[in-house]
């Protein structure tokens, strides 16, 4: 029986007050000062038993659907989780050795849940032998949308909701085509009583559209709709999903709505403490997501306005961020000045908020939020102007190198990347070459994207016809260059370099659920095991791994040196074999040596050696120490620091004025 399919499931009388949630879009839902989370749990469990969810289907196998489903499956071994997508290529990748997106920790989580594991015994140094049971696979990827939806107790809607580009509301409103299409497919296939969860970011009151669509296709069939927006950030998706600040669940305030919310809460409570699960009404939940993104982006624009002041006064934006971030009311996060925010979310979600305000005739509110985007564009333009001004106003005959093409570190996502806009602006000044390197973006994918982005212009921009070349080697990209531009905050580009990063499955931050057993007890949690697997310092495998695919010996390099062998990916011999890849898989072609190179810190000394004088570095992400770099022979300009590097401090010279 599905979670709300008992005798009272069709009872929609309001358990909190006598005013049911309005179905009229122009009437706001009733507000309440009642402790909704508490009541939701109590009422739901009193009136409708929360039936154990056995089958979840996630529609949309993208940056959100894939990782979210993987973590739900990882922590709920008894729930069958299937991610469906109509994009055959994407599903094929999820079923291969290379998930279609790069996220630290994703492969480990996917391998455990998608492939299942061996039972293993391991000796933990200084402790004892831990026995780890085998587990069956419970994460699946499929293109059979109708079949997988029809079997699910809970269906997540995790499809794309970009900005509408034509027609009424173009450039601001949300394009609902994918969401509507997926909702229609779900409406036709879902079993009666299924819970439909909006995971996608949607305009406020979208649940009403979902409800109407269900009613059109399946009149009279009971379905409950929840809003459960996702707050993960790319590059830290797995860390964020494993340790969420909060899980937000919006539901209608009926018995059935509250029971559905409680069913979803059960799924999350496998690893998230219930105190972190916030339940609100549907419209608050939908709107909270837009507001959270708008306010995060607003902080970035705020600090970026300060960076412009710093460059002209000699104040240092990082010092200011440090100083103000100590104020507990302000907090230290999202105060890193840079090239401005990119990515598929911030701009489109602010635009969605702006559009909402406009449609509500709140022009001042719309203008206020629009300014966050205006400042973002101002910041990017300022940076390019600074580059061109320092190169005496012309790029003709010069090679300009770009380090970082992804919109932020630790992801290969290039959607709305600041780098794309910078490249467009640089092109206008006719450099002889724009050389692009990103440690995680496959050069062929970047080239494909550039072709697509400029397709309408008819211009051939890629070498040999045009000035753009994409490199898989950072040193080649910077060779003979007049200026290196750091556009993505990859740690690999820092100077001085960072020390080693911690495992994201670190045992000190294993889960938000209070541990009921010792962290390394005889029945360790899945997270304990992943921590052990990813930190070989703590573990010693009981026997050599038959399935370990990483090379065990060092790799000879063309310059005669040897790369150290990569750390074993399966020190506990737990993984089962991965599925094979299709012929011509680009990621296989990239190979393991390139994987090692992608993780290596840049040797700035080597770059200095091969650049053209005066060896300009324009740091758009505040990653390098100016004086240290100057000692290597570079001339450095950093966002938010006085123009002219340490020269300005010595001579009062300001190149930007």
Q: Quick one: which of 36, 51, 57, 60 contacts ligand NAD (CB under 6 A)?
A: 60
Q: Are 486 and 624 in contact (CB under 8 A)?
A: yes
The reply to whether 626 sits near ligand UPG by the rule CB under 6 A is no
Q: Is 136 annotated as a binding residue?
A: no
CA distances from 409 to 221, 417, 438 (A): 46, 11, 10
Alpha-carbon gap, residue 595 to 439, rounded angstroms: 9
Q: Is 85 annotated as a binding residue?
A: yes
Pairing of strands 616-619, 483-486: parallel
In this complex, which beta carbon is closest to ligand NAD, that of residue 201 or of residue 213?
201
Contact set for ligand NAD, span 448-507 (CB under 6 A): none
Out of ligand NAD, ligand UPG, none, which partner does residue 200 contact, by CB within 5 to 8 A per kind?
Answer: ligand NAD
Q: Are 490 and 401 in contact (CB under 8 A)?
A: no
CA distances from 314 to 145, 513, 635, 639 (A): 58, 47, 17, 12
In this complex, which beta carbon is closest to ligand UPG, that of residue 190 or of residue 420?
420
Question: Which listed range, 75-83, 132-140, 231-239, 580-588, lies at the site for ligand UPG (CB under 6 A)?
Answer: 231-239
The reply to whether 344 sits near ligand NAD by the rule CB under 6 A is yes
In the chain the first and final C-alpha atoms are separated, in Å, by 71
SS3 502: coil
Q: Is 231 annotated as a binding residue?
A: yes
Contacts of 386 (CB under 8 A, 6+ apart): 618, 637, 643, 656
Question: Which listed range, 11-19, 35-43, 83-91, 266-274, lies at the site for ligand NAD (CB under 6 A)?
Answer: 83-91
Q: Which residues pair with 637 in a beta bridge?
A: 618
Phi, psi of 402 (to 5 degrees): -115, 120
The reply to whether 65 sits near ligand NAD by the rule CB under 6 A is yes
In this complex, which beta carbon is closest to ligand UPG, that of residue 240 or of residue 570?
240
| Burial of residue 245 (number of CB atoms within 10 Å: 0-12, 13-18, 19+) | exposed
SS3 579: coil
- Shortest Cβ 304–ligand NAD spacing (Å): 21
Q: Quick one: which of 95, 98, 334, 646 contacts ligand UPG (CB under 6 A)?
A: 334
Contact set for ligand NAD, span 140-159 (CB under 6 A): 145, 158-159
In this complex, which beta carbon is closest to ligand UPG, that of residue 66 or of residue 193?
66
Question: Which listed range, 26-34, 229-237, 576-584, 602-610, lies at the site for ligand UPG (CB under 6 A)?
Answer: 229-237
The reply to whether 232 sits near ligand UPG by the rule CB under 6 A is yes
In this complex, which beta carbon is closest to ligand UPG, that of residue 331 or of residue 614?
331
Q: Is 232 annotated as a binding residue?
A: yes
Alpha-carbon gap, residue 60 to 157, rounded angstroms: 7
Alpha-carbon gap, residue 282 to 45, rounded angstroms: 20
In this complex, which beta carbon is closest to ligand UPG, that of residue 3 or of residue 622?
622
Q: Quick one: which of 41, 75, 90, 408 contacts ligand NAD (CB under 6 A)?
A: 90
What residue has token string 């397709």?
455
Q: Is 348 annotated as a binding residue?
A: yes
Among candidate residues 310, 345, 441, 478, the one labeled active-site is: 345
Six-digit token pair at 641? 């620091």
**Catalytic residue status for 58:** no
- Shortest Cβ 303–ligand NAD spacing (Å): 21
The reply to whether 410 sits near ligand NAD by the rule CB under 6 A is no
The reply to whether 103 sits near ligand NAD by the rule CB under 6 A is no
Pairing of strands 55-59, 154-157: parallel
Residue 294's CB: how many other CB atoms inside 10 A? Answer: 20
Question: Which listed range, 180-188, 308-316, 490-498, 602-610, lies at the site for ligand NAD (CB under 6 A)?
Answer: 180-188
In this complex, which beta carbon is closest to ligand NAD, that of residue 59 or of residue 484?
59
Alpha-carbon gap, residue 615 to 635, rounded angstroms: 6
Q: Quick one: which of 20, 29, 37, 181 contacts ligand NAD (CB under 6 A)?
A: 181
Q: Is 234 annotated as a binding residue?
A: yes
Out of ligand UPG, ligand NAD, none, which partner does residue 158 contact, by CB within 5 to 8 A per kind?
Answer: ligand NAD
- C-alpha dihedral, 171 to 177 to 182 to 184, nearest 10°: 140
The reply to whether 230 sits near ligand NAD by the rule CB under 6 A is yes
Contacts of 547 (CB under 8 A, 6+ apart): 570, 573, 575, 576, 577
Q: Quick one: which of 103, 108, 153, 185 contacts ligand NAD (CB under 6 A)?
A: 185
Alpha-carbon gap, residue 14 to 257, rounded angstroms: 10
Q: Is 528 annotated as a binding residue?
A: no
- Shortest Cβ 346–ligand UPG spacing (Å): 6
Alpha-carbon gap, residue 193 to 5, rounded angstroms: 5
Phi, psi of 552 (to 5 degrees): -95, -15
Contact set for ligand UPG, span 401-460 (CB under 6 A): 407-408
Closest CA to 282 of 31, 2, 52: 31
Question: Which listed range, 7-15, 20-28, 230-238, 480-488, lies at the site for ligand NAD (CB under 6 A)?
Answer: 230-238
CA distances from 359 to 27, 294, 352, 366, 463 (A): 14, 18, 11, 9, 46
Q: Is 151 annotated as a binding residue?
A: no
Interacting residues toward ligand NAD by CB under 6 A? 59-65, 84-87, 90, 145, 158-161, 178, 181-182, 185, 200-201, 230, 232, 234, 344-345
Q: What residue numbers does the annotated binding site cover?
A: 85, 90, 161, 201, 231-234, 289, 334-338, 342, 348, 408, 415
Q: What residue numbers does the annotated binding site for substrate cover?
A: 231-234, 289, 334-338, 342, 408
Interacting residues toward ligand UPG by CB under 6 A? 201, 230-234, 293, 296, 300, 334-336, 338, 341-343, 345-346, 407-408, 489
Q: Give the residue numbers marked as catalytic.
A: 345
């Amino acid at each position: 029986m599905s979670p709300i399919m008992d005798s009272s499931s069709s009872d929609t009388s309001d358990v909190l007050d006598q005013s049911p949630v309005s179905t009229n879009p122009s009437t706001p839902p009733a507000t309440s000062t009642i402790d909704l989370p508490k009541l939701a749990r109590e009422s739901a469990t009193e009136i409708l038993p929360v039936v154990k969810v056995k089958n979840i289907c996630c529609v949309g196998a993208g940056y959100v659907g894939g990782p979210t489903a993987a973590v739900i499956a990882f922590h709920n071994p008894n729930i069958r989780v299937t991610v469906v997508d109509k994009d055959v290529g994407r599903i094929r990748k999820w079923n291969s050795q290379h998930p279609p997106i790069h996220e630290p920790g994703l492969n480990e989580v996917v391998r455990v849940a998608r492939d299942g594991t061996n039972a293993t015994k391991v000796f933990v140094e200084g402790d004892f032998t831990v026995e780890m049971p085998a587990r069956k696979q419970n994460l699946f990827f499929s293109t059979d949308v109708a079949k997988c939806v029809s079997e699910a107790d809970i269906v997540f809607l995790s499809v794309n909701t970009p900005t509408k580009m034509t027609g009424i509301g173009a450039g601001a409103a949300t394009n609902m085509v994918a969401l509507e299409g997926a909702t229609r497919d779900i409406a036709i296939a879902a079993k009666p009583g299924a819970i439909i969860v909006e995971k996608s970011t949607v305009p406020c009151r979208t649940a009403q559209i979902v409800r109407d669509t269900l009613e059109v296709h399946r009149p009279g069939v009971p379905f409950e709709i929840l809003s459960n927006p996702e707050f993960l950030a790319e590059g830290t998706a797995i860390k964020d999903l494993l340790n969420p600040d909060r899980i937000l669940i919006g539901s209608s305030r009926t018995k059935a709505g509250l029971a559905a919310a409680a069913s979803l809460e059960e799924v999350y409570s496998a690893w998230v403490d219930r105190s972190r699960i916030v339940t609100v009404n549907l419209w608050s939940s939908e709107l909270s997501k837009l507001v959270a993104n708008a306010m995060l982006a607003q902080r970035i624009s705020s600090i970026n306005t300060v960076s412009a002041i710093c460059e002209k006064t000699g104040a240092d934006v990082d010092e200011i961020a440090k100083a103000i971030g100590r104020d507990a009311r302000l907090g230290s996060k999202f105060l890193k000045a840079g090239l401005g925010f990119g990515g598929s979310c911030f701009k489109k979600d602010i635009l969605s908020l702006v559009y909402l305000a406009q449609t509500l005739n709140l022009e001042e509110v719309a203008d206020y939020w629009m300014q966050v985007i205006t400042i973002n564009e101002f910041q990017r333009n300022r940076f390019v102007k600074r580059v061109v001004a320092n190169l005496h106003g012309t790029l003709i005959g010069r090679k300009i190198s770009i380090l970082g093409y992804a919109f932020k570190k630790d992801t290969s996502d290039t959607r709305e990347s600041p780098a794309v806009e910078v490249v467009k602006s640089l092109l206008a000044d006719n450099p002889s070459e724009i050389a692009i390197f990103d440690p995680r973006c496959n050069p062929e994918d970047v080239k494909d994207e550039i072709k697509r982005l400029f397709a309408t212009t008819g211009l051939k921009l890629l070498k040999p016809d045009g000035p753009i070349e994409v490199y898989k080697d950072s040193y080649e990209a910077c060779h003979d260059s007049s200026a290196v531009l750091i556009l993505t905050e990859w740690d690999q580009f820092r100077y001085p370099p960072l020390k080693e990063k911690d495992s994201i499955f670190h045992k000190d931050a294993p889960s938000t659920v209070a541990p009921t057993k010792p962290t390394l007890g005889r029945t360790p949690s899945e997270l304990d095991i992943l921590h052990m697997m990813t930190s070989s310092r703590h573990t010693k495998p009981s026997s050599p791994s038959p399935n370990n695919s990483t090379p065990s010996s060092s790799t000879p390099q063309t310059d005669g040196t040897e790369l150290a062998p990569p750390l074993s990916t399966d020190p506990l011999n737990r993984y089962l074999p991965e599925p094979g890849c299709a012929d011509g898989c680009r990621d296989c072609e990239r190979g393991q040596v390139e994987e090692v190179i992608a993780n290596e810190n840049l040797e700035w000394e080597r770059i200095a050696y091969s650049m053209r004088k005066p060896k300009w570095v324009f740091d758009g992400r505040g990653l390098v120490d100016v004086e240290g770099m100057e000692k290597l022979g570079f001339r450095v300009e950093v966002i938010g620091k006085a123009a002219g590097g340490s020269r300005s401090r010595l001579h009062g010279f300001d190149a930007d004025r």
